[in-house]
Amino acid sequence: MRGGRRIALTLDVAGERVPAALLVPLEPRPASAALLLHGYSSDKERMVDSAGRALLDRGVASLGLDLPLHGERVGPGAAAGMSPEEFRNPLALARRWRAALEECRVALRFLGALPEVDGARLALVGYSMGAYLGVMVAAREPAVRALVLAAGGDLPDDLPYASLVRTVVDPVRAVRKVAGRPLLMVHGRHDRTIRPDQAQRLYAAAGEPKQFLWYDGGHWLPDPVVRQAAGWVGETLRGAGG
């Protein structure tokens, strides 16, 4: 493809086959890189075709995954993602979340070990559900040198069993552990899926260096905003090695 190569591959994680898509620029070598985490009911293709292509234009490699119950991991006739009942079941949420965290850990190791990639310059880009997962991964994985949370935030106030869910998924606690690594949050002023106040709570809890990019829109990011965030990733990773 223009500016690089697109490679379809599968990661084997604890016996699970995780479909992935890798974009690698022709130059520079080794390149900085980003792990891309998609939103609820979405898939790796949407992330690679938007954020991945924007990153490729800036010489940044990227790896997109199909998270559990999404993309190629959805059975025939099944809906993507967890059912509303599953999503409100803390035990089911914990099982899925642990699996996703382990898959992201393996994906980061794989990405950083590629000869075309500089393992000291890795970022994570998460959108919506992927932003919730991304902040948890970054808190655990020091290899993540820069973090983009798009359309993400703190848990909603009206979440059932919120105190129990926070024992598994607590974005505020996680983002505090990312302090010292650059953070970019991107959010729509009219987002009704993850409200602006949720994003503001998460941003307030984050340490420096951090930056907030608002756009006039809802949950879906406009292409110019995607390109602006990709530019931030490229510029930030340029000085992240060593």
**Per-residue pLDDT tens for 131-159?**
999 999 999 999 999 999 999 999 988 87
Q: How far apart are CA 206 and CA 217, in angstroms?
A: 24
CATH superfamily of 4-238: Alpha/Beta hydrolase fold, catalytic domain (3.40.50.1820)
- Domains in the chain: boundaries: 4-238
Q: What pLDDT does 125 receive? A: 98
How far apart CA 57 and CA 180 sit, in angstroms, is: 27
CB 130, CB 37: distance < 8 Å: yes
Which tens digits make up the pLDDT trace of 8-47? Answer: 999 999 999 999 999 999 999 999 999 999 999 999 999 9
Q: What is the mean pLDDT of residues 191-216?
A: 98
Specify whether the CB–CB gap between 140 and 126 falls below 8 A.
no
Distance (Å) of CA 218 to CA 47, 105, 147, 204: 18, 30, 21, 21
Residue 95 confidence class, pLDDT cut points 50, 70, 90: confident
* Burial classification of residue 117, based on how many CB atoms lie within 10 Å of its CB (0-12 exposed, 13-18 middle, 19 or more buried): buried
Contact call for residues 208 and 175 (beta carbons, < 8 A):
no
Provide the pLDDT confidence category of residue 79 given band limits of 50, 70 and 90.
Answer: low
Q: What pLDDT shows up at residue 240?
A: 79
